[in-house]
Amino acid sequence: MELVYTGSVKDLYKDGNKLVFKYSNRYSIFDWGEMPDEIPHKGEALASMAASFFEHLAKKGIPSHFVGTVNPNTIEVKAVKVLRPHFIEGQYDYSMYQDRPTEALVPLEVIFRKHLGQGNSLEGRLKKNPAYLADLGLKEVPSGATTFDPALVEFSTKLETSDRYLTKKEIADMNIVSEGEQKALRAQTQEIVVELEKLFQSFGVKLWDGKVEYAFGKKKADGDRELLLVDSIGPDELRLTYEGLPLSKEFLRQLYGNTSWSDAVKKSKELAAERKTQDWKSICKDELKEVPKKLSAQQIEVSALLYQALANEVASVVGRKKPFAEEMTLKRWHEKAQEILGN
């Protein structure tokens, strides 16, 4: 196998016309990339959950690039092309999508929201840009107590150094997807949300929001392209809670949330936007002199338990063998997480 990409969380290998995702114990928050320490067994947990979710959704009629499990921390998927937009004179050029490529990654993240909660980004963004309300089909700015049924769906960029939310007109102007394909992205995401919400509710977990990614498949009779669910589904892509505590990457964000480094990340992104540069990370490291510190041994232990317990629960519900010992449960994680978060 040939290593084709090393990410902050997983490594991609090419094996003929397939890709192999090897999940590591690395983690990333705030778009930083690889953090200074690792979470034991995280890779095995993510691989198990990805397989569980893809297999479960396939049974519900939602196609994906998933082929099968290779070993405890590795899955095999169908390969798709990644066409990266060029950064020219302060903006990204997506002209390579005008030819309507197939078997290629859709350069958009699709974000869904079921529940907002306090401190959500949507409320503040809508207050700054009320015109975006109509784009989302909303009549008023929602509050932290708002629940959406069906889920609210937004789009953001995928292949840029910092994600930015997009209106329907901006997506149309980028000429990435047709109007029909944009509607299909929304509809298929709604189907996924319904199935995931039912799955998590079965063992007491609340699904708040998340993101999914797609690839263009073959062209259909109407000229639009099929959509395949790609990348991964798990606690790094979803915001979940269990008995009031964050059961996702949000847990890791909270561990770093009140640090000088997290403040510097926000400031450096603002400075990068003002300067029209992509390299906010260098501003954070070189100008603001801030890098993330390692987690404590106790924080690492509880973080590892989060991933293992959730992988066990998901596998059990979809009929797969639990990947970790029986004592790795959400109840046990909750008890230990309360101590760390001071709840």
pLDDT, average across residues 159-172 = 90
On the question of pLDDT at 77 being above 90, the answer is yes
Which pLDDT belongs to residue 304?
97
On the question of pLDDT at 175 being above 70, the answer is yes
User: Could you read off the pLDDT of 118-128 as tens digits, one per residue?
Assistant: 878 899 999 99
On the question of pLDDT at 54 being above 70, the answer is yes
User: Could you read off the pLDDT of 304-331 as tens digits, one per residue?
Assistant: 999 999 999 999 999 999 999 999 999 9
User: Could you read off the pLDDT of 79-109 as tens digits, one per residue?
Assistant: 999 999 998 888 899 999 999 999 999 999 9
User: Could you read off the pLDDT of 216-236 as tens digits, one per residue?
Assistant: 999 999 999 999 999 999 998
Which pLDDT belongs to residue 227?
97
Place of tokens 């409320």: 123
Q: What residue ranges do the domains of the chain occupy? A: 2-341
pLDDT level of residue 268 (50, 70, 90 thresholds)? very high
Choose which CATH entry (3.40.50.150, 1.10.3720.10, 3.30.470.20, 3.30.70.20) describes domain 2-341: 3.30.470.20
On the question of pLDDT at 343 being above 70, the answer is no
